[in-house]
């Protein structure tokens, strides 16, 4: 067989050819028409909050994030088409770290004041990391999971969840199968990535039995780190984060669905990763790795520069990580907390 045959090409070159064929058509087609009104309140007083590149994978494209001056909802505008979502989510495995187990343990402990639930649905469960941790405290609870990617099928294969559903809760036909089935529904940093967070939130509540509990965690768009770090703030994370929801809006929406708010917490939900994540993403953007969506492999000089800069930046990244953890006790009690947690109970029907 000739060495020039396509099957003899390195895998990255085969993937590069596919990516470059897509990119030759431009990235504008990946964006839907720009909205003229807020997707949360329909207000029309919008302002640009920031523009950003793909800070996660470094794929070509620029994204605009706008903020509603009426309700403070923050959203990607224009948003991505289904084709754009598929393009920017492809090959993302390995680019985003799963939550630390200590954070998952804290999430479970926040629910230990209620009787052990029989059934728990974890929305956006990915590989099922949270259910795997939660079982240490809740051995008799049956965990199911949803995720927009096939990762949830791996979670079922490894018995981290018992039932797995691919899609958002608003995926046609899915909610009908889950309505009223669960004692607890958890949504940890997934409303921000739902095409319609208000409808996803309503669906999560609909999946609860009367008396069941809803547990939410969301990035806080009013965190001081959002202004300090701008496009490099982990909560902005373009193009993955489609929405950022102020706590006031979420509380009003939950209460409007016949639920009682039990607790809100900006302290325990804070994840001390702002500075370290921003430093890592800035470095990756400045000296990108060889990826199949680049026009070609980097030159020897650029490879050497990446190695040198990565080594030189190691102390900075370690310092940023240490600062995140050192400052965390103070930040959790300040306006710089980067997330909030809400626990609510679904009331019986009147």
Q: What is the pLDDT of residues 24-38, one digit of tens each?
A: 999 999 999 999 999
Q: Is the pLDDT of residue 290 over 90?
A: no
Q: Is the pLDDT of residue 6 over 50?
A: no
Q: Is the pLDDT of residue 229 over 60?
A: yes
Q: Is the pLDDT of residue 1 over 60?
A: no
Q: Are 215 and 184 in contact (CB under 8 A)?
A: yes
pLDDT of amino acid 119: 98
Alpha-carbon distance values, 195 to 137, 198, 233, 284 (Å): 33, 9, 21, 27
Rounded Cα distance between 313 and 238, Å, is 23
Return the exposure string of 52-77: e unless at least 16 CB atoms fall within 10 Å of the residue's CB, then b: bbbbbbbbbbebbbbbbeebbbbbbb
Q: What is the pLDDT of residues 303-328, one digit of tens each?
A: 887 888 888 888 888 999 999 999 99
Domains in the chain: ranges and CATH: 27-270+339-350 (3.40.50.150), 274-331 (no CATH)
pTM of structure: 0.91
pLDDT of amino acid 314: 87
pLDDT of amino acid 32: 96
pLDDT of amino acid 63: 98
């Amino acid at each position: 067989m000739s060495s020039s045959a396509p099957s003899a090409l390195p895998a990255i070159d085969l993937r590069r050819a596919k990516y470059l064929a897509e990119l030759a058509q431009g990235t504008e087609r990946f964006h839907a028409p720009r909205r003229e009104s807020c997707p949360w309140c329909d207000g029309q007083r919008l302002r640009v909050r920031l523009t950003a590149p793909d800070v996660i994978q470094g794929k070509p494209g620029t994204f605009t994030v706008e903020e509603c001056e009426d309700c403070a909802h923050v959203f990607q505008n224009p948003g991505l088409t289904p084709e754009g979502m598929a393009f920017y989510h492809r090959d993302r495995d390995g680019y985003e770290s799963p939550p630390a187990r200590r954070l998952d343990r804290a999430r479970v402990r926040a629910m230990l004041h209620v009787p052990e639930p029989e059934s728990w649905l974890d929305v956006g469960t990915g590989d099922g990391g949270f259910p795997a941790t939660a079982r240490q405290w809740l051995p008799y609870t049956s965990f199911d999971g949803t995720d927009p990617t096939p990762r949830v099928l791996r979670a079922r294969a490894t018995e981290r969840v018992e039932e797995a559903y691919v899609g958002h809760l608003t995926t046609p036909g899915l909610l009908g199968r889950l309505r009223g089935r669960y004692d607890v529904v958890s949504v940890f940093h997934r409303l921000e990535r739902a095409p319609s967070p208000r409808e996803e939130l309503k669906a999560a509540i609909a999946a609860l039995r009367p008396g069941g509990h809803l547990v939410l965690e969301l990035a806080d768009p009013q965190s001081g780190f959002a202004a300090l770090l701008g496009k490099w703030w982990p909560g902005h994370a373009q193009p993955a984060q489609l929405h950022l929801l102020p706590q006031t809006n979420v509380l009003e929406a939950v209460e409007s669905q016949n639920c009682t708010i039990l607790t809100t917490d900006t302290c325990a939900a804070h994840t001390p990763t702002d500075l370290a994540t921003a430093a890592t993403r800035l470095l990756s953007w400045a000296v990108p790795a060889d990826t199949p969506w680049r026009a070609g492999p980097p030159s020897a000089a650029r490879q050497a520069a990446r190695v040198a800069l990565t080594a030189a930046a190691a102390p900075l990244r370690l310092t940023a990580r240490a600062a995140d953890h050192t400052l965390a006790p103070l930040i959790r009690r300040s306006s710089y907390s980067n997330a909030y947690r809400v626990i609510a109970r679904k009331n019986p029907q009147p």
